[in-house]
Amino acid sequence: MSRRRYLVLMGPPGAGKGTQASRVAEAGGLCKISTGDLLREALAAGTELGLRAERTMKAGELVSDDVILGLVDEVLDRPECAAGAVFDGFPRTVDQARGLERLLSERGEALDQVLIIEVPESEIVSRLSGRRVCQKCGKLYHISFDPSRQEGICDACGGELVQRPDDQPETITRRLAVYAEETAPVREYYAATTGVTAIDGDQPMGAVAEAIRRELQPADAEG
């Protein structure tokens, strides 16, 4: 059996991590592990963890490393992750990056590639304020750049499209500051270890997807 494949997709809020991670996961037969989605699912299910994370997320702050690593540890063993995973929005601190290394090495695995989607701050606010998310299936839309066929209704499942509570201007500002303080050092960490591939995210979604596809190392590059 070939080795499992693990990719990290980094970038500031609104860079398009979720949009692109879904495509990369589907194309490669990998699962998508989005810690933001996992937290929102926990909240929707009314679990204690979800309810505890709610205030932190609404404020644009980071949930603790222990909670996040615990979530990832659980999800890594799901059957849909049997071929590997694309991490979206994780790791976000250097301690999470070290924690991920440990979780993978415990399984005899290692990280293959880290990609960072770069988008200027001026673009981020318009992306996040126009974002809509299907409440039922989580599919992403944008009111101008990627609208649903019928306003407010998901094309895929007919669910209601809503705005994320942390997509308010003051929370966006805080999320950007937290990214600069806590997550920018993760890039430095990977630059010195796994290596980082920069992707120009300031172009249409299809062009970003194509740039990622070009940069992805072939699945059978090693082992």
Q: Interface with ligand AP5 by CB under 6 A: which residues?
A: 11, 13-19, 35-36, 39, 56-57, 60-63, 68, 89-90, 92, 96, 127-128, 130-131, 140-142, 145-146, 166, 175, 201, 204-205, 208
Least separation in angstroms between residue 15's CB and Mg ion is 9
CB atoms within 10 A of CB 31: 18
Residue 93 CB coordination number (10 Å)? 20
Q: List the catalytic residue out of 23, 32, 40, 175.
A: 175
Nearer Cβ to ligand AP5, position 28 or 130? 130
Angle between the N-to-C axes of helices 169-178 and 121-129, in degrees from 0 to 180, rounded to the nearest 10: 140
Q: What's the distance, CA 85 to chain centroid?
A: 11
Catalytic hit among 98, 164, 174, 187: 164
Residue with smaller CB distance to Mg ion, 39 or 100? 39
Query: Does 18 sit near Mg ion (CB under 5 A)?
Result: yes
Angle, CA 156 vertex, CA 154 and CA 158 arms, to 5°: 45
The residue written with tokens 């495509």 in the block is 23
Of the residues 4, 17, 127, 139, only one is catalytic, namely 17
Footprint on this chain of Mg ion (rule: CB under 5 A): 18
